[in-house]
Structure 1
Amino acid sequence: MHFFYLAENNGSLSSSVSKQMSQQTNIITHYFTNIDWDSVISKIVTTFLSIILISSVFFIINWIGKKLISRSFKRPKKSDHLSANRLQTIYTLSLNIFHYSILFFYFYAILSILGIPVGTLIAGAGIVSVALGLGAQGFVTDVVTGFFILLEQQFDVGDEVKIGSISGTIHAIGLRTTQIIDYDGTLHFIPNRNITIVSNLSRNDMRALVDVYFDPNEDIQGMSALIKQVNQQMAPNYPEITQGPTLLGTIDNGHGSLALRVIIYTKNGAQYTVQRDFLAAYLEKLTQAGYKIANSPLNLTTSS
């Protein structure tokens, strides 16, 4: 009797579970049956085609825009009031600004097609930006400093500079960072907020001082004549020389050290080659004439 009661209860439980499963299945079937699949497929196809169309339009705009920017900067290449480095700097920044502007409007159009409320996102981004304001102070400082670097034309792409303990050639200038290629090939990324003192070595001609040390008992007039002779022979072969070479005469560097000083102004970057060649020619000429030459230190500085 007890066994029959348990069997009856199990049977009623199974029947209840079956009814619940049947009801849930009917609900799901009813839900999918009431979906307008034609409308859904049409919406998906329309959205997909709209995205392809918008992407194609923005691709063409991006291609045409870059071509126009490139062509516009090719025309004033021979301009006298704008250096080639300055033009390259402005050209790079123009491409970057155009590229990011295209990306912004492209994603704005894509989100609008997908039905995402862009205005709400922008308002939310404003709230988030306020929340992140304290943490973004360094970024804002970088952008502001980079803007004034560009506005004041402190340096351009291709200039040789010294910023703090880093020396090299400007590789790229951005609103947030400046890239410098060191003389050993290292690429440095410097946040603009860390740029406080800039030594630009490319804005003026460079000055090479060559001091030829000699014994006080030597014939100074004879040595001077030979140095002038070397200057006359070699100067026409160096178009990089902008002024000189000029023999300044005898100088006293202290401790009884006398030297004949020659000053040569050259275009930036050519001073080292010119200095080495002229020094070698001086030493060879004076040695052949029998003069005793002491150590000859060099002093390369920028012109003031």
Structure 2
Amino acid sequence: MFEYEIWGNSVQNWIISILIIVAAIVIVKLITLLSKRVLKPLTDRTKNQLDNIIFYSLEPPFKFAIILLGIWIAIHRLVYPDSFVKVVDNIYRILIVLDITWVFARLFSGLLQVYWGRRSDGQNNKMLPIIKRTILVVVWIIGLVMALSNVGVNISALLGTLGIGGIAFALAAQDTVKNVFGAFTLLTDKPFNIGDTIRFDSIEGTVIDIGIRSTRIMNYDKRIITIPNYKITDSSIINISSEPMRRVVLNLGLTYGTTAEKMKEALAILKALPQKVENVSSSPSDVVAVFTEYSDSALGIMYIYYIKKQGDILGVTSNMNTEILASFNKAGLEFAFPTRTVYIQKDEPEDNGKISK
């Protein structure tokens, strides 16, 4: 029975080759158990992160290499046509180079994540995803080129063909390239961060995500606006969240019946109001109240104050307006509204030409 041949090999040889592959799988399972029970806890106890990175980088590629080795031994102990053996050898040369490339890709990924993933202030480095993807793409391209070169592929001719195709691809994907560079610009220049409220062109809202191709903003209607990155980098951006305080300008008007003393009282009331309203700056340099003009129907007052960063803009504005109204009413100051006074001149009656006697 064991001497019976299948595709030029005895049943015994087929069973031995299968057992070799099974043994390789069992060894991989034992390595996984050893890593989980012994090696991983051992590396976690050390303060140095480098051993964790090396363990993370080597474990999966090493287990994959054992499987490859088991299959290679199992195949080469059987009898096959030379053409088939040559194809298998070429595939294995490619897989071995790609497995080594996998080690370097995981190593670079782990080093970036541990040593560059967080800034000195403890925040996540927002440049990490782009840099990580770029390095991984470069590593895998180099590995693939080396793998193809290892089996005799003419890399120069291949690169020439890819170069012509790359030009056509670049022309077709120029907007995508602009968006990628736009994302790189946004993450390096940092005109805003996720969570900031910004304004550019006619759009204003809160940034909720900065991606490779686009940035997403939630406007005040709770709608998500997706904008290509290059359009943002080409625009003037106002970062509302970065302002230390919000400047508010009010134009008030009092009636023409207001005396000079009452006008001075109104200005004094306005300058004292920031001390009464929470989250309004009471610094003398941040409060301006001036009598500005004689308009058609009012004595104009310009009032400028600043809302502190932690204050709710709408709530503080409402509180300040309420205080102005209550204080002016208490002081007997009247707000002006558009009025017009018409003076009619009455003519003298004409002489009817009669001569009095």
Query: What TM bracket, shorter-length normalisation?
Result: 0.5 to 0.7
| Alpha-carbon displacement from aligned partner over 1:69-123 (angstroms, at most 9, x marks no partner) | 123x1x256xxxxxxxxx87xx312431123312431354367557675936544
Q: 2:334 aligns with which of 292, 298, 303?
A: 292
1:266 and 1:98 map into 2 onto residues whose CA distance is 42
For 1:176 and 1:118, locate their aligned partners in 2 and report how far apart those are by CA, in whole Å: 35
**Per the alignment, do residues 42 and 182 of structure 1 end up closer, same or farther by CA in structure 2, a change over 3 Å counting?**
same
Percent identity for Structure 1 against Structure 2: 18
Q: Hey, what does 1:223 align to over in structure 2? A: 266
**Who is 2:236 aligned against?**
198
Select which of 250, 274, 299 maps to 1:258: 299
Indicate the residue corresponding to 1:300 in structure 2.
none
221-230 or 61-70: which moved more? 221-230
Give, in angstroms, the shift of residue 290 of structure 1: 4.0
Alpha-carbon distance, 1:268 to partner: 5.9
Tell me the SS of whatever aligns to 1:197: coil
For 1:44-87, what per-residue CA distance to the aligned partner results, in whole angstroms no more than 9, with x for missing partners?
A: 7887677566545533431331121123x1x256xxxxxxxxx8
Could you tell me which residue of structure 2 aligns to residue 119 of structure 1? 155
Counterpart mapping for 1:1-304 below 5 A: 34-35=80-81, 54-55=101-102, 58-71=105-118, 73=119, 75-76=120-121, 91-106=125-140, 108-109=142-143, 112-113=146-147, 117=153, 119=155, 121-142=158-179, 153=189, 155-158=191-194, 159-173=196-210, 176-195=213-232, 196-202=234-240, 204=243, 205-218=245-258, 219-234=262-277, 237-238=278-279, 244-252=285-293, 254-266=295-307, 270=311, 271-293=313-335
Which of 285-294 and 266-275 deviates more?
266-275
SS in 1 for 2:325: helix
Give the aligned residue type for 1:63.
Answer: G
Q: In the superposition, relative to structure 1, how do residues 48 and 128 fare at CA in structure 2: closer, same or farther (>3 Å)?
A: closer
Going from structure 1 to structure 2, the CA distance change for 1:194 and 1:241 (only over 3 Å counts) comes to farther
Taking structure 1 as the reference length, the TM-score comes to: 0.61
Quick one: distance in 2 between partners of 1:176 and 1:242? 45
Q: Secondary structure at the match of 1:132?
A: helix
For residues 120-151 of structure 1, the C-alpha deviation after alignment (integer angstroms, 9 at most, x for no partner) is 65443211022334433434554566666677
| Contact 1:161 1:198 (C-alpha < 8 Å) held by counterparts | no
In the superposition, relative to structure 1, how do residues 192 and 253 fare at CA in structure 2: closer, same or farther (>3 Å)? farther
Change in CA separation of 1:55 and 1:149 when aligned onto 2, cut-off 3 Å: closer
What is the alpha-carbon distance in structure 2 between the residues aligned to residue 223 and residue 69 of structure 1? 58
**8 A Cα contact 2:292 2:300, kept in partner:** yes
Partners of 1:242 and 1:266 within 8 A in 2? no
Instruction: Output the aligned Cα RMSD.
Output: 4.4
- Distance in 1 separating the partners of 2:329 and 2:140: 73
What TM-score results when the alignment is normalised by the length of structure 2? 0.53
Can you give the 5+ residue segments of structure 1 that lack an aligned partner in the other structure? Answer: 1-27, 78-86, 296-304
Distance 1:253 1:216, change over 3 A: closer
1: CA distance, partners of 2:267 / 2:79: 107
Q: Write the deviation string for residues 163-193 of structure 1: whole angstroms up to 9, x where unpaired.
A: 2222223445567544433233333332344
**Aligned-partner residue type, residue 325 of structure 2:** L
Q: Cα–Cα, structure 1 residues 174 and 240, in superposed 2: closer, same or farther, change >3 Å?
A: farther
Q: Deviations over 1:280-304 (max 9, x none)?
A: 2211222344433457xxxxxxxxx
| CA distance, structure 2, for counterparts of residue 232 and residue 257 of structure 1 | 27
Comparing 105-114 and 34-43, the one that deviates more: 34-43
Q: Greater strand share, 1 or 2?
A: 1
Higher relative contact order structure (alpha carbons within 8 Å, sequence separation ≥ 6): 1
Distance in 2 of aligned mates of 1:56 and 1:240: 58
Q: In 2, are the aligned partners of 1:242 and 1:267 still within 8 Å (CA)?
A: no
Matched letter for residue 155 of structure 1: P
Q: 1: CA distance between counterparts of 2:169 and 2:88? A: 42
Partner amino acid for 1:209? V
Where does residue 80 of structure 1 map in the other structure? none
Q: What is the one-letter code of the residue matched to 1:207?
A: R
* Residue aligned with 1:156, SS: coil
Residue type matched to 2:251 in 1? Answer: D
**Paired residues of 1:161 and 1:200 also in contact (CA < 8 A):** yes
Distance (Å, rounded) in 2 between the aligned partners of 1:230 and 1:263? 11
What is the CA–CA distance in structure 2 between the aligned matches of 1:214 and 1:264, rounded to whole Å? 19
Could you say if the C-alpha distance between residues 65 and 144 of structure 1 is closer, same or farther in structure 2, counting changes exceeding 3 Å? closer
**1:209 CA drift (Å):** 0.7
User: The residue matched to 2:251 in structure 1 has which SS?
Assistant: strand
